A and B are shown apart, each in its own frame.
Chain A
Amino acid sequence: ILNVEQSPQSLHVQEGDSTNFTCSFPSSNFYALHWYRWETAKSPEALFVMTLNGDEKKKGRISATLNTKEGYSYLYIKGSQPEDSATYLCAFSNAGGTSYGKLTFGQGTILTVHP
């Protein structure tokens, strides 16, 4: 059984604060790591796909880094805005065994940005 752990489970910040969360995953047979943003009553929206150790991706105020050797990824949000409030999911796939061809999700980090 592959475990994908996200921390913290929830986070409350003030508008303008910068924040970051962590996704931990098994480091063996790494294939890809995905970040999704999921607003209430909507569908999860893809943010980043990362496949190489040391990858850094950026989309506006949101960025992510990847360390496949130690099995973690960080998601950063700079200058949080109320519209950033959502659940941030990470998902992992490996290149062999039971997880090949499917994504295993973490529990998510619920971010609330207060005006």
Chain B
Amino acid sequence: ETGVTQTPRHLVMGMTNKKSLKCEQHLGHNAMYWYKQSAKKPLELMFVYNFKEQTENNSVPSRFSPECPNSSHLFLHLHTLQPEDSALYLCASSQDAVGGSFYGYTFGSGTRLTVV
């Protein structure tokens, strides 16, 4: 375990469902990130939260809705997804956003999402 926990590990959902992905860290970090990895593509940054404030939304469709209630928890709420949204969703955390780009991130193991 790295200290960043993601649940669930696997999720299958229909296009009309609403589900949420959860990420939790107790490392004392203040920045949290959502990345998406589609097949044969690089990790793609979706959202950045720094001290609970969203500082980055990388043109992500509104069917993905992040929530960061405190520095330890990050959610990704999903609704009316498309099959092309099937991917691995990785959460990461770092000391803070600037520190993360210098010292690096701690990653969770990801949620494998399949949209049917």
Contacts and interface: CB of A to CB of B under 8 A. Distances in A.
A34 B29 CA distance: 19
Chain B contact residues: over half helix, strand or loop, or mixed? mixed
Interface in A53-68: none
Given A41-B109, A43-B4, A93-B101, 14 more contacts: A31-B102, A32-B101, A32-B102, A36-B104, A42-B109, A43-B2, A43-B110, A45-B2, A46-B106, A49-B102, A49-B104, A101-B50, A103-B45, A105-B35
Interface of B: 2, 4, 33, 35, 40-43, 45, 48, 50, 55-56, 90, 97-98, 100-110
Interface residues of A, number: 26
A105 B45 CA distance: 9
Nearest to B97: A101
A43 to B, nearest CB: 4
B49 to A, nearest CB: 12
B109 A101 contact: no
Contacts of A49: 102-104
A32 B100 CA distance: 10
